[in-house]
Amino acid sequence: MTAVTATTATRRFRRSALLGAVVATALGGGAILAACGTDDRGATADGPAKLSVADSYIPLPPTGGMGAGYLTVRNDGGSDQLVKVSSPAAESVTMHRSTASTMEQVESLDVPAHGALELARGGTHLMIMGWQKAPALGDQLELDLTFAKSGTISVKVPVKELTYRPGRS
Ligand SMILES: [Cu+2]
């Protein structure tokens, strides 16, 4: 009886320690980014965020393979954070940040006040795995973007040819 209780307590402790580490990572990342410049443009970081999603697309992934997702989150209000992405079309969607030679999964991405979070080729992107059905050109796949303050925004993202880039002047 005593042994069982002790094991349960240990498991609970491990789980909350893990959660604590994730939260600390997310908070630490946000604090560093905020310190790097969100605040020195005179924008109010504490008003409500006003988010819209533009230029979203998924380059056609190899059959059964992992896909990438790109989009821009525009913000006409206070700062927010993208904290989770999921899709009914896939088992897992994760946020990745690329450096020159590697990429790493991140728990959240800052949406700066009166600015934009850009997920683009060669930079920060979404990684999509475990398709329910192999995507085809022209499909519109739902992505559910959850923000710390603004809740969840669902977008229909078109599947484009591999070489597609959104038109920008
Ligand atoms: Cu990646």
Rounded to the nearest whole angstrom, what is the distance from the C-alpha of residue 164 to the centroid of ligand 1?
18
* The predicted structure's pLDDT at residue 11: 46
Q: Examine the pLDDT at 112 and tell me if it is beyond 80.
A: yes
Predicted TM-score (pTM) of the model is: 0.72
* Reported confidence tier of residue 29, pLDDT bands at 50, 70, 90: very low
* Beta-strand runs (E) in 11-150: 51-59, 67-75, 80-86, 90-98, 103-106, 109-111, 116-119, 125-131, 140-147
SS3 82: strand
Rounded to the nearest whole angstrom, what is the distance from the C-alpha of residue 159 to the centroid of ligand 1?
18
Rounded to the nearest whole angstrom, what is the distance from the C-alpha of residue 109 to the centroid of ligand 1?
14
Q: Examine the pLDDT at 97 and tell me if it is beyond 60.
A: yes
CB 63 within 8 A of CB 126: no
